[in-house]
Amino acid sequence: MEKKHSSDLHPGLLPPGTVVGPWCVQAWAGRGVHGAVYRAVPVEQESAAPVALKLAMLPRDPRFAREAELLSRIRHPGVPRLWEQGDWRHPGGTLLPYLVMDWVEGIPLYDWVQQHPPSSRQVSQVLAQLARILQALHAQGIVHRDVKGDNVLVRRSEGSAVLMDFGSGSHPGAATLTTQTLPPGTPAYRSPEAQMFSLRFVHEPEARYVAGPADDLYSLGVTAYRLATGEYPEFGEPFRDEVGQWQLKAVAPPSPHALNPRIDERLSALILRMLSVRPEERGSALELAGALEPLASCKGDEASQQEGVESAQHLRRPARLKSLSLWLASAAAVGMVLIMGSWWTVARPPGKESFALLKVDDSHAKDGGTAGLGDAGTATSAEAFPPSPARQMLADDKLPEPLQGQARPDAKGRCAHNRQVALNGGCWGPLPLNGERCEGLNGQMFKGTCYVPILSSSRQPTSNPTREP
């Protein structure tokens, strides 16, 4: 295997044969906002069992030390084991942190549903496994903060679930790495209490929301709802109470059983429980696992359940996020466009890229977001740059439709920021994201690129969101 050492090496596009510490890259596996993942083996041991090597995109990225600390505290079959952490000196002289973990031979959760439509019992089994993983995390005070289908793999061998990507996680005593009100995460999966916190403290930039176990359970509920119905759950409208405090109207989404009658009614009720507006009503991961496991072990009439989620999972394009989530997702997208704009040219793996494209201001090393293992760890092709199955599946040749309240280009067809794109009468933020991450920001896939709507600055997300709380 030919080894390449050049100052032109891009950390997001290392070719096979590149040596990182004691590891030799075999194949590119995927990339997220902050890290790229490769299948690797020990140097000069090409036939050895592979590992997942996650390499930072930015020098001295503190997320990697935090993720290593989290993984070192966990011993659970549903969490990849950390084997090593270190710093790789790029041929150009820059030090980039890396992590080495178990290679998980698996399929992203929503892709698994597409390829092997499970029964209601099998859905219960996967959710019970994820609840047990969260139970183990929460018992140590660890909060994942980005539970979603994109960060769950289903092992090809036995069909068990693995929770990936701890780059957004937190543990007791962990330092704050972000400057935003909300911690890292995906807007569509944020709990109501987190979203309301951001509304209530919109004029207090020093306020920080502290995510807890109930936030992980809500995110698992959104994941379960999408798994069972192919849609995101609806939010109630925020409103001000008699003392002017922002509140959220408790509107229960349609039950998964109502949208997909093949889903067991007991499972449907548990999913709605996870989506409760009141965090105390969600219970604990221990309680949830205890309620799901009997459903997972009860085979019932398997013949009638075998197409359990098939009717819902040819996946209909997920429902558009409602007003509050749309506003928050679009705000997050604006930040991502600005942060990621400097390396947008490396969004497409093929081609020769220069490491100079990563010359980003170090201040961005503390922005929110998630690392790239969860959306990358499943590619098993030996191709250097395999295409993303999720992107292939969700890519759409139809022009994205502008939404109500979206910013529009001016008379000359230009948008407010030079990194925004005027397309089909709306202003969009192009992002190098796969289908799941794109949907989480209310974006639309078009010809392999995610376009996120930019809301007009004059548009209010609710009846009066800019008033002082």
**pLDDT tens digit string along 418-444?**
888 898 889 988 887 766 667 666 778
Q: What is the mean pLDDT of residues 134-154?
A: 95
Query: Which of 292, 316, 340 represents a domain boundary (last residue)?
Result: 316
Rounded to 10 degrees, the C-alpha dihedral 44/15/62/418 comes to: 180
Q: Are 215 and 290 in a shared domain?
A: yes
Which structural domain range is residue 162 located in? Answer: 106-316
Q: Are 146 and 235 in a shared domain?
A: yes
Report pLDDT for 256.
Answer: 94
Q: Are 63 and 140 in a shared domain?
A: no
Query: Which of 275, 290, 316 represents a domain boundary (last residue)?
Result: 316
Q: Are 296 and 235 in a shared domain?
A: yes
Q: Are 216 and 272 in a shared domain?
A: yes
Q: Sorting pLDDT into bands at 50, 70 and 90, what band is 463?
A: very low
Q: Determine, yes or no, domain membership for 449.
A: no
CA distance 9 to 7: 6
Report pLDDT for 243.
Answer: 81
34-64 residue pLDDT tens: 889 999 999 989 889 999 999 998 898 888 9
Average per-residue pLDDT in the chain?
Answer: 76
Rounded to 10 degrees, the C-alpha dihedral 228/232/233/234 comes to: -150
How many folded domains does the chain comprise?
2
Phi, psi angles (nearest 5°) of residue 224? -65, -40
**First CA to last CA across the chain, in angstroms?**
62
Q: Sorting pLDDT into bands at 50, 70 and 90, what band is 174?
A: confident
Q: Sorting pLDDT into bands at 50, 70 and 90, what band is 324?
A: low
Q: Say which CATH number the domain at 41 has.
A: 3.30.200.20
Residue-wise over 227-237: b if at least 16 C-beta within 10 A, else e? Answer: bbbbbbbebbe
More confident: 306 or 63: 63
Q: Say which CATH number the domain at 230 has.
A: 1.10.510.10
Q: Are 124 and 65 in a shared domain?
A: no
